[in-house]
Amino acid sequence: MRPLPAIKPMVHVVDDNPAVRDAIRWLVEQVGLSARTYATAQEFLSACDPAMRGCLVLDIRMPGISGLDLQERLQKQGIHLPVIIITGHGDVPVAVRAMKAGALEFLQKPFNDQTLLDAIHAALEKYHAIWAQQDQSHHTVRNLSALTPREQKVLDLLRHGKPNKVIAYELDLSVRTVEGYRARIMEKMGARSLGQLIEMVVQATPKG
């Protein structure tokens, strides 16, 4: 099976100042990235979902839900986006709270364009491996669901270290039949070796 297509990262800009939103979007698009802007935190919340990929450039002080409150809500909802905080009020307590809540960078307006771009690229690079692992897990789960009940049983025994002869005995099959199941499982899962197959299944299995 072909892997699921990766979701293209998007730079999400949340700021109540339209001039700031437009300036950041223009800057981001000049370096080949995609951007989407939001006037309020609520507008972003209405549009976001856990599958979002990219980074969040977030103003702190906005009417309604503040930037820091939005950051904390996203954490509670399990939406993992790297956050870059921007503000015209660079007081230390706010900066500390933002960083403790997981912000990767804290920039005070007016900031240098290159500084913001560097922060965005660093955020996307930092999360690239996380997203790649998530994509692989989703791909594995999809492939697992395509296995027949008997293939799933054989895979479960393989995962527990059972050799072909033992699996054949426990399922009342011939060794050759088990080998056939094993080959089909490897093909469906896109695994090149038994070790890779087991690693894929373990990584896709929910913890706890």
**Is there a contact between 16 and 60 (Cβ–Cβ < 8 Å)?**
no
How does pLDDT run across 73-92, given as a tens digit for each residue?
888 887 778 899 988 766 66
Q: What is the pLDDT of residue 5?
A: 41
- 122-131: Cβ within 8 A, 24+ apart: 123/55, 123/82, 123/83, 123/84, 124/9, 124/54, 124/55, 124/82, 126/82, 127/53, 127/55, 127/80, 127/81, 127/82, 130/80, 131/6, 131/7, 131/9, 131/53
pLDDT band at 206 (very low <50, low <70, confident <90, very high): low
Looking up tokens 């230390």, which residue turns up? Answer: 92
Q: State the amino acid at position 121 in one-letter form.
A: H
Instruction: Tell me the pLDDT of the chain averaged across its residues.
Output: 84
Is the confidence at residue 36, as pLDDT, over 60?
yes
pLDDT above 70 covers a percentage of the chain that reads 90
Q: Which domains does the chain have, with CATH numbers?
A: 10-128 (3.40.50.2300), 147-204 (1.10.10.10)
Q: What is the pLDDT of residue 132?
A: 66
Q: What is the pLDDT of residue 91?
A: 65
CA atoms of 178 and 35, how far apart (whole Å): 51
> CA nearest 71: which of 55, 83, 88?
83
CA atoms of 6 and 199, how far apart (whole Å): 21
Q: Which of 8-22, 128-142, 157-171, 191-205 comes out lowest in average pLDDT?
A: 128-142
Tokens for 55?
């980074």
Between the two ends of the chain, the Cα-to-Cα distance in Å is 29
Is the confidence at residue 207, as pLDDT, over 60?
no
User: Nearest 5°: CA angle at 24, between 19 and 28?
Assistant: 150
pLDDT above 90 covers a percentage of the chain that reads 37
CA atoms of 90 and 108, how far apart (whole Å): 6
CA atoms of 61 and 70, how far apart (whole Å): 11
pLDDT band at 141 (very low <50, low <70, confident <90, very high): confident
Q: What is the pLDDT of residue 168?
A: 92
- Other beta carbons within 10 angstroms of residue 150's beta carbon come to 12
- Stretch 28-45: mean pLDDT: 93
CA atoms of 91 and 122, how far apart (whole Å): 24
pLDDT band at 58 (very low <50, low <70, confident <90, very high): very high
**Is there a contact between 38 and 13 (Cβ–Cβ < 8 Å)?**
yes
How does pLDDT run across 90-115, given as a tens digit for each residue?
666 777 777 777 888 888 888 899 99
